[in-house]
Amino acid sequence: MNGFGMTALLRLALIVLIALATSVAGAKAREAHPGSNALLRELRQETHADRATVQRWRALLAQAKKQDSILAAISRPAEKTKSWKDYRPIFMTAKRRDDGIAFYRENRVLFDQVAHDTGVPAEIIVAIIGVETSYGGFTGNYRVIDALATLAFYYRHARRSSRRTEAVAEAGRPISAAARGIEGSYAGAMGWGQFMPTSFAQWAKDGDGDGRIDLWASKPDIVHSVANYFVAHGWTRGAPVTGRAIAAPTAVLPEIRATETIYSIDSLARAGYTLAEQFDPASPATLLVLEGAEGSEYWITFQNFYVISRYNRSPLYSMAVWQLAQEIARGATAAR
């Protein structure tokens, strides 16, 4: 999960990771990073931690290192620098499709059971893992504590934020490895599903029942966790996700707020955008306009598309997941 608000969420993620650490030696009194003392004061107020606990957190922060390569990477994310015609080929490759079909077939019993239990289609779960880490092929090589500290204390957009840090989410819940050694993406996301520490604390699941959560090696934990993330964010079983729309010559472009479903199918039809398929005219929806390889594409998206965007706020990301999922579903069906 690489998309996230570069404001309160970064600080919250760092707070949760620090709070999940249980023992680090060699505490230092001096400020490890610009603003780290303020963060520790905030964490102490939120959790009512004792002095010894705060010293352990301070020591963990002292071990975090600023990584200039992270600052360079975060300044040019594909979601913000590329159009759909350039973004789509990154994820819609024959290899990613074929690997996804194979991954689904190899783990069909697990995926289908989770889909049955949660209502989240198996192909959506597979596609998320495929887009995030190429089915576990690359989960990141930055220490998470380094990534979060670099972004929280040195990235200009995070440092200038004046928004109040959110409440610490289940700060006492144990993580599956020592916080100082966990590796992930340049954004601080972890495991096959690229969960931020806050997402791990709130929505990761013990899918294999062994009493711990492992998003690196336990496929049941990984699959259950991704599905649970969607359920927690409002996925509706059997509801539509998106459909290609036809724009009338007289169509009027409405106000668009990313993936928020602020219209209905009926109101979008009155504006000149219609779907070939029949849906409830009152269904909450919105319009998405993408610049594709053959010109402008018009899509009507629904609440489940919005839920995909909770994984990464970019509409391009959500569309890539959706289209990859459809390719995987078709391939897996043909392979039966």
Task: Give the active site residues.
Answer: 132
What is the four-CA torsion angle of 308, 314, 320, 326, rounded to 10 degrees? 20
- What one-character-per-residue DSSP string does 263-326 give? EEHHHHHHHTEEESS---TT-EEEEEEEEETTEEEEEEE-HHHHHHTTTSS-HHHHHHHHHHHH
Write the DSSP symbol of residue 164. Answer: P
Write the DSSP symbol of residue 180. Answer: G
Q: How far is CA 5 from CA 165, 196, 237, 307, in A?
A: 12, 12, 27, 16
Burial class of residue 244, CB neighbours in 10 A (0-12, 13-18, 19+): exposed
Q: How far is CA 319 from CA 165, 213, 216, 304, in A?
A: 30, 29, 26, 12
* Residue 155 CB-half CA count within 13 A: 27
Backbone angles phi, psi at 180, to 5 degrees: -70, -15
